[in-house]
Structure 1
């Protein structure tokens, strides 16, 4: 399950960054300055990357045996700016909580 989590984490960050670029840069340029080049370039990329994100989230949810509601909530996290970053942290916590022997060890000082 570690590889599935890593794949999910990487694509969650990529989708989050691309979505923020689309919303923060592309949309104001398109609607405020009538320059759709960023939306025309990044929009289709985000669509493709979101499909990869859905596949990674589905794969991880099946391996972790999550309920349907949790799986759908994680999948929808890639549609709202900044939420994919929060979801990535929550998902990592859920996976490490379910498998405590695989959680990162902290050094007590």
Structure 2
């Protein structure tokens, strides 16, 4: 997966998507149901760092593959939707064969 340009985006998308799910479905319930606000502080910081890295990788892939504007915008948009990166990954897998 890490051998191609789009493969690097797919790899980073997995981590960013997982961090969003951990934040929403583990850290947030710990904060509001069990009164452990540190969970959101820690996971939120990790998620923020991964999101910034994901955006940098999107910029790298866009420049390297000369994508039109729709793919980078779609890649950023799905980062805000739970399970969005995993849905986009299926489309990126097909593109990976085209662009490399």
Higher RCO by CA contacts (8 Å cutoff, separation 6 or greater): 2
Q: Unaligned 5+ residue runs, structure 1?
A: 103-109
With structure 1 as the length reference, what TM-score do the two structures score?
0.78
Look up the match of 2:39. 38
- Answer with 1 or 2: which has the greater Rg: 1
RMSD of Structure 2 on Structure 1 (CA): 1.7
Question: For this pair of structures, how many residues does the alignment match?
Answer: 98
Q: Unaligned 5+ residue runs, structure 2?
A: none
Alignment partner of 1:11 is 2:2? no
Spell out, residue by residue over 1:55-86, the C-alpha distance to the aligned partner (whole angstroms, 9 max, x if none): 11121122222221221111222222111111
d(CA) in 2 for partners of 1:32 and 1:69?
Answer: 39
Query: Which aligned runs of 4 or more in structure 1 are off by greater than 6 angstroms?
Result: none
